[in-house]
């Protein structure tokens, strides 16, 4: 079964501290993984995807197939990073469907 798990509902850190939002997935094939972010009162938007291997707003995520993880990291959190973060999986079907994790609220305190 295809599944995405984000074990932390809330992650609270101080400004300048490192951040790691955990994401584990369950999928038998070669997945495509994404991180989406939803700022307060804004729409969901793509933060990054594993195939592009880029860093957006200082965030990076590496796909670890051995651990079936795609954790999101940032070395120094900023207050404007406070938002809801969703990890999502796109399987090999041609439907384009995404399977979302439960989401993690990141709270960066001053």
Partner 1 sequence: GAVVSQHPSWVICKSGTSVKIECRSLDFQATTMFWYRQFPKQSLMLMATSNEGSKATYEQGVEKDKFLINHASLTLSTLTVTSAHPEDSSFYICSAISGQETQYFGPGTRLLVL
Count of residues engaged in binding partner 1, rule: CB under 8 A: 20
Q: Single out the residue of 86, 89, 91, 108 in contact with partner 1 (rule: CB under 8 A).
A: 86
Cβ atoms within 10 Å of 25's Cβ, excluding its own: 22
Q: Single out the residue of 12, 14, 17, 44 in contact with partner 1 (rule: CB under 8 A).
A: 44
Under the binding rule (CB under 8 A), the answer on residue 49 touching partner 1 is: yes
Q: Shortest CA distance to 70 belongs to which of 94, 84, 86, 56?
A: 86
| Residue nearer to partner 1 on the CB measure, 43 or 66 | 43
Under the binding rule (CB under 8 A), the answer on residue 110 touching partner 1 is: no
Residues 6+ apart with CB under 8 A from 87: 4, 6, 21, 23, 25, 33, 34, 35, 36, 70, 72, 100, 101
Cα 40 from Cα 13, distance rounded (Å): 18
Q: Single out the residue of 1, 42, 66, 110 in contact with partner 1 (rule: CB under 8 A).
A: 42
Shortest distance (Å) from residue 31 CB to partner 1: 14
Under the binding rule (CB under 8 A), the answer on residue 107 touching partner 1 is: no
Instruction: Return phi, psi of residue 2, to 5°.
Output: -90, 130
Q: Where do contacts with partner 1 occur on this chain (CB under 8 A)?
A: 34, 36, 42-46, 49, 86, 94-103, 105
């Amino acid at each position: 079964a295809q599944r995405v798990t984000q074990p932390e509902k809330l992650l609270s850190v101080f400004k300048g501290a490192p951040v790691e939002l955990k994401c584990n997935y369950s999928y038998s094939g070669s997945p495509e993984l994404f991180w989406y972010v939803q700022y307060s009162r804004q729409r969901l938007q793509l933060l990054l995807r594993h195939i592009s291997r880029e860093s957006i707003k200082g965030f990076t995520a590496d796909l670890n197939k051995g651990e079936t993880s795609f954790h999101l990291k940032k070395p120094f959190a900023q207050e404007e990073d406070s938002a809801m973060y969703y990890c999502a999986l796109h399987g090999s079907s041609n439907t384009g469907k995404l399977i979302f994790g439960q989401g993690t609220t990141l709270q960066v305190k001053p």
